[in-house]
Every structure is written in structure tokens, then in C-alpha cells.
Structure 1
């Protein structure tokens, strides 16, 4: 198994190796940031007695601060030619604050309003689907 992985790694060109490293970093950081957001969301709908969409809004804002800080300095460090930090922050806010928030708000609506399920159910696609969408947008637009 190890030899196969070594052969696979050495067979990759520099660009593909960089992508693999970013995916691994995003996996680690993304899991942490996503769990941070989901914990805040669940605490707010549970002990905080907040409506699910309000909880999603507050959790998204908190996760965006943590997410930008770590992704810009670790996950996508050295990727692309960032012209300015302000431009990257603006794009991150659009990507995560509009697209990510919109997708997660859809999950909240779908599970709580349309399907009338527990407000905890949106946590599943928030963890499994939204991060994949955001990785692609962050890599291709925000930190490019």
C-alpha cells in the first residue's frame, strides 16, 4: 500500500501535488471550521433557543472569521497570485457569506420547513456537501 502511494505521489507533476496538498489541508481545516460552525448552530438552536435560520446566520459569521484566517494563511498559502488582501477578503465574503450561507440556509429550510424534520438534520449536508462547493470556489476564485 505504502509503495503504491509513493509511486502515485512521485508520478504527479508539481501542479497536481500542490492540489493534493491543498485538498489535504482543506480537509483538515475545513473539517475543523465546519464542525465549529455546526457546533455553534446546534448550540444556538438548542440551549440558545434561536430559530434555525438565525442560528445559521450567526454560525456562518463566526465561521467566516475563523475560516478566512486559517484558509488564507495555511490551506491556500502560496496558491495563486493574490493582488490584494482586500480583494481576497471581499471574494471570501461573497463565496462563504453569500454562496455558503445560501446553501446552508437552503439545507435549514429544506429539513425544517419543507420536510418538517428536526433542526439538527441540516448539519449533515452542511458537513458533507457545502464544504466541497466552497473548496472549489475558494481555490478557483478567492485565493487564485
Structure 2
């Protein structure tokens, strides 16, 4: 899929990426990495940055990591426990960011996803009849 942007390649990438967010990290992209490979390459760098700088009480700055949006989304979900459904529903646009802050015990908290703030939950499936019954309104009106 390298150097391809045709509809078939995009659909194949998206199908595999969705599987990664549903726990199937061992599925590889054709001729490329698995989700596990991406995380194994990506997460140690973030851990090292955290240990070197963010866990140092004298450090007062921020660290900015620039990467491919899909890798950012996968790593942020893994580090901060952001729901895979939310990640798949909320693509990051060009130059959008995810903000993670270190919390206790080596864990992270996601405090910003693009333009969104927590809580980060998947979009509810539309259920107009159930919604109307719950709200006591006529769904046909």
C-alpha cells in the first residue's frame, strides 16, 4: 500500500486499522507493520521522553511529538485507555493534536482529542424510536 492513495488502498488500510482498535494488533498492513509493531516502535520513545523530562520535577515545559495521525491515535488509545470506538469515530484532521498528560504509576490521561475534551466515548448508534420512547415523544411527528 506504500505510495498508494486509491480508494481500494484507503479502504484496506481502514479495515486493518479498525481491527487494530478492536484488539487485533497482530494483523499486518500488506507489506508493512502490524499494530503491535507500531506500538513497539512508538511507545518506548514516549516512555523515554516521559522518564527523561516529564517525571523530572524541575522540568516545566511541554513535549510535542509530531507523527502520522493514525499512529498518534493508536498510541494515545493504548497509553490513555481511550475507547477504540471513539478513536475510530474521531479522525484527526491535518495538524490536529492529542494532548496527553502524565498521571500516577506511569499512566497517562488524555485531556484533548482534536477539538474535543473528555469524556471520550464512541458515538451512540442512532435509535430514533428508542430515543422517542425515552423522551416520551412521537417519532413520527
Which of the five TM-score ranges fits, normalised by the shorter chain?
0.3 to 0.5
Q: Structure 1 or 2: larger helix share?
A: 1
Q: Structure 1 or 2: larger strand share?
A: 2
Q: Is the radius of gyration larger for structure 1 or structure 2? A: 2
Pick 1 or 2: higher relative contact order, CA cutoff 8 A, min separation 6.
1
What TM-score does the superposition give when structure 2 sets the normalisation length?
A: 0.36
